[in-house]
């Protein structure tokens, strides 16, 4: 089983959106027995909460339900358990590399490194922006998720 973890600040906007989008791609490809998906945040600000209503609304408009996702804080065990630990921005990436055991740094990557044209960039935080920010972020996440799934299928032969 390949395990994928998406990480942002509070686990209410970017990472749960990526979680929902990627889970749908995995399900549509019939790979649920081969790939598991989760998300979390670096902070505990929103533990137990649903994703931001704007994230849920945006996802719902694209046929994705985020209501089964609850915010949680990253755990030390996540660095051991997950094969892909994907940071939504460079701040998350650097914080996770400081927290994770050195032997697992290779599992921590920038999520947009899987985007066809945005490698090395951060997914902007739509929390303080308007509705268009959520649309823009969702589009980025969809493209990167599709490329990520192709990468995993190719690398792991599934």
Q: Active-site positions?
A: 8, 14, 125
First to last CA, the chain: 10
E-strand spans in the chain? 2-8, 35-41, 84-87, 108-110
Task: Using alpha carbons only, give the angle 90, 45, 137 rounded to the nearest 5 degrees.
Answer: 45
Q: Which two tokens stand for residue 26?
A: 């995995």
């Amino acid at each position: 089983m390949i395990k994928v973890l998406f990480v942002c600040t509070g686990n209410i906007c970017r990472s749960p959106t990526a979680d929902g989008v990627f889970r749908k791609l995995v399900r549509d490809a019939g790979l649920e027995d081969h790939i598991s998906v989760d998300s979390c945040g670096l902070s505990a600000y929103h533990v137990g909460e649903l994703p931001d209503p704007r994230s849920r609304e945006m996802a719902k408009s694209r046929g994705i339900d985020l209501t089964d996702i609850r915010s949680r804080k990253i755990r030390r065990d996540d660095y051991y358990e997950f094969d892909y630990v994907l940071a939504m921005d460079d701040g998350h990436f650097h914080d996770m590399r400081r927290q994770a055991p050195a032997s697992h740094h290779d599992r921590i990557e920038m999520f947009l490194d899987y985007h066809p044209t945005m490698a090395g960039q951060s997914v902007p935080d739509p929390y303080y922006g308007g509705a268009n920010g959520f649309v823009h972020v969702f589009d980025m996440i969809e493209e990167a998720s599709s490329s990520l799934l192709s990468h995993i299928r190719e690398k792991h032969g599934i």
